[in-house]
Amino acid sequence: MTPQVRIPAVYMRGGTSKGVFFRLEDLPERTQTPGDARDRLFRRVMGSPDPYGAHIDGMGGATSSTSKCVIVSPATRAGHDVDYLYGQIAIDSGALDWSSNCGNLSTAVGAFAIAGGYVDAARVVDGLCTVRIWQANIGKTIVAHVPIAEGQVVEMGDFELDGVAFPAAEIVLEFVDPAGASDALFPTGHLVDTLKVDHDVVPGGMIRATLIHAGIPTVFVQAEDLGYIGAELRDAINGDVDALSRFEALRTAGAEAMGIVKTARVPAIAFVASPIDHRTSSGREVMAGEVDLLVRALSMGKLHHAMMGTASVAIAAAAAVPGTLVNEAAGGGERTSIRFGHPSGALRVGAEARQADGQWIITKAVMSRSARMLMDGHVHVPADSF
């Protein structure tokens, strides 16, 4: 008989994602360092690979938004409270991507760090507790402002986040220097590029794109160039095999133009449009004047039900720079914040942009999310699975 191993863990929602959170020191010793054992453990925790695409035998939720694991550990960087490492697990293949961040789950890291004892108790006082997070996947700083009452994280509140059914307490996130000194905000040096693709991808074989590296490398194209209006819901894209193939071709062309190695998540691909009256996935009617622009993004090859947090950073950054396709869709001009529509509703994001030596720099991007602990205890995995 193969026994099961019990591993302390917390199941948390962060923004419009959820995942299994671990303290590094609670993991089995052979999985405390990167490698095959850790990857196999996380696959088994999620229930991947699953040829049925259902994640029945694991903690995963059978969507890209719910097939995630997080490791939090004591900070290795001065001036930070914790290190945060994120893994995205493919549902069908079990491929594990360590190449980028999850902006949504970043919201839950601050709360988890406080509850897990990583933050000095003297700082956990009524009001807002500032948690400085080192995002180890991409080497960036995230600052979470977590509400506190009576020494505990406040989870309940009246902040509503489209894509999440119930209100909760607001957590403000700051993504510091999301592009970074070593990463050009616009890798090609242009605000708008022309990508060359096969004629069956887009008529004429060429399409305009904004290629930006902030939050996550992202390829932005115009909805109308693909025959869309920008208000499409998931079934309209995810049920169209040809459409998904075209988006993958555009993503590949964008990666080549940006000079980056394409992975399952990088770069992201999104299409934008000026606002129109439309319906969200919940059936709510949204008037054009309620948002500045419409954005739809794909995650792990499928249209996201709301918006990835890292892509939200890219949207905020691109909108702040006059002349990008995102900025143009929002009406043009200088902008420090926008409200964009996504399949589940809308989200307000902001970014601080400036020019230095002829180059655009984003000093920080800001957004509000919420987080909640769903369950804590232990996950059980077969001892021979890792």
Q: Which residues are catalytic?
A: 102, 308
CB atoms within 10 A of CB 101: 26
The first and second tokens of residue 39, run together, are: 């990857």
**Can you tell me whether residue 350 is helix, strand or coil?**
strand
Nearest to 321 by CA among 175, 142, 185: 185
Report the DSSP pairing between strands 206-214 and 278-279.
Answer: unpaired
159 within 8 A of 289, measured Cβ to Cβ: no
| Residue 122: CA count within 13 A, CB half-sphere | 0
Q: How far apart are CA 77 and CA 25, in angstroms?
A: 18
CA nearest 105: which of 90, 88, 119? 88
Give the span between the Cα atoms of 303 and 255, in whole angstroms.
19
* DSSP secondary structure code for residue 159 in this structure: B
SS3 272: strand
